[in-house]
Amino acid sequence: MIDRSSFGDDPDVGLALDAVEAGIEAARPKTVLETAVELDNHDLRIDGERYDLSAYDEVLVLGGGNAAGEIATHLSDLLGSSLSGGVVVTDDPAPAGPMEIVDGTHPVPSDANVEGTRRLLARARESDENTLVLVAVTGGGSALLSAPVEEIPLPDLQALTEELLRSGAPIDRINAVRKHVSALKGGRLARELAPATTVGLVFSDVTSGDPSVVASGPLSPDPETYEDARAVVSEYEIDAPESVTRHLRRGVAGEIPETPGPDNPVFETVSVHVVADNFTALAAAREVCVAAGYDPVILSSSVRGEAREAAKTQVAIAEEIERSGNPVEPPAAVLSGGETTVTIRRGDPGTGGPNQEFAMSAALELGEGPVLCAVDTDGIDGPTDAAGAVVDGDTVEDIQHARPLLAEHDVYDYLADRGALVRTGQTGTNVNDLRVLLVPE
């Protein structure tokens, strides 16, 4: 999966890459769904719940996100002739029997995303109480499942998306806005599907694991309001298009119905299962480190904040391990996940991504010995072709040149020139970021 041609034969670099690769593989839909979803004749078992396929007139698969293509393929192979069809929007398409697979874009929506999502909504509205609908909800779904409300044209949604992604706001705040400019998000897909029996299969890419945040919660009650969305725009100084500002203002005034809340009856026939999350990847990475004789410490699966600042904390823990043997003696592996952010100021010229910035910041602090690998599990870190980077204390030799590049969010070329970028291609999953910091003896 990882192109290792530029990394040489350093055993600790190899181990860090092995651990990251194992984490990604453990979170891929094929691996996860082989145990989470089982079929025995007409008896479909999903995470402990049972569904008699013979009791339904049709069985559909709908959904979207980075991992939705692989989910669709697995479900098509599993269900066979029991599957009636469906619509899935993904940026990593794969054959999936009778389903329509729409090849969309991420992280900024396109015409293909909007048209595919509208076809998905049309199919959802055709369902009834005799329909079983399996819905793939994965990271990347907020962009891929884009059906803006009628008064917001696609160029305005694209501009809003770019503003939100540059803002440095955490994903739950970003998605609070997305929910309130969409015809599908914030529980609205559940409303369109009711009264069908609806089962959500969630691959979580959010630090909270809250399914109402993943892909902006198309099947989940929305605890947030138009006022919350407008507050995010104000707090993070989002330069929202006028159509967005007008729509949110109308929502606050009560001229537009709120997203469905926890007491809404549309959720009575909906069950949502988080079948994979960041800890899925962390646990697999940990096992690789243990097998290599490293004592692992999982800091958290929900690390967040500015990438370059979060990196300093992880390096500080490695320094403590080297200095005092706390919290474990070396050789040790310090593992973390979550989703760090990068706040882009207008005029910043750089190219990179949160994991590349995490790695660059760490490289500026690392001494001799430790090795860090930081990647986005979907294989796409920021608007680049890299998943992240692997670094050690020798990666940065010219600190006075490297620090300004980090400040300007322009680390991609620097890391590429040093053979530090990790490239996986699209991985078929998305459970957030994964970081492995090895502290040898």
pLDDT (tens digit per residue) in 6-24: 888 899 999 999 999 999 9
Distance (Å, whole) CA 356 – CA 229: 30
Kindly report the pTM of this predicted structure: 0.92
Sheet holding 43-46, edge to edge: 37-40, 43-46, 49-52
- 407 C-beta neighbours (distance < 10 Å), count: 12
For tokens 């041609």, the residue is 5
| Domain at 28-276, CATH homologous superfamily | Glycerate kinase, MOFRL-like N-terminal domain (3.40.50.10180)
Residue 431 token pair: 């459970």
Task: Please report, for the chain, the start and end positions of each structural domain, with discontinuous segments joined by +.
Answer: 11-24+279-439, 28-276
Topology at the third CATH level for domain 11-24+279-439: glycerate kinase, domain 1 (3.40.1480)
> What's the pLDDT score for residue 48?
85
> What's the pLDDT score for residue 47?
87
> What's the pLDDT score for residue 349?
65
Tens of pLDDT, residues 302-361: 999 999 999 999 999 999 999 999 999 999 999 999 999 998 876 666 899 999 999 999
CA Rg value for the chain: 22
Averaged confidence pLDDT in the chain:
95
For tokens 């040790």, the residue is 332
> What's the pLDDT score for residue 405?
94
Residues 6 or more apart whose CB falls under 8 angstroms from that of 243 comprise 151, 152, 153, 156
Residues 6 or more apart whose CB falls under 8 angstroms from that of 191 comprise 260, 264, 266
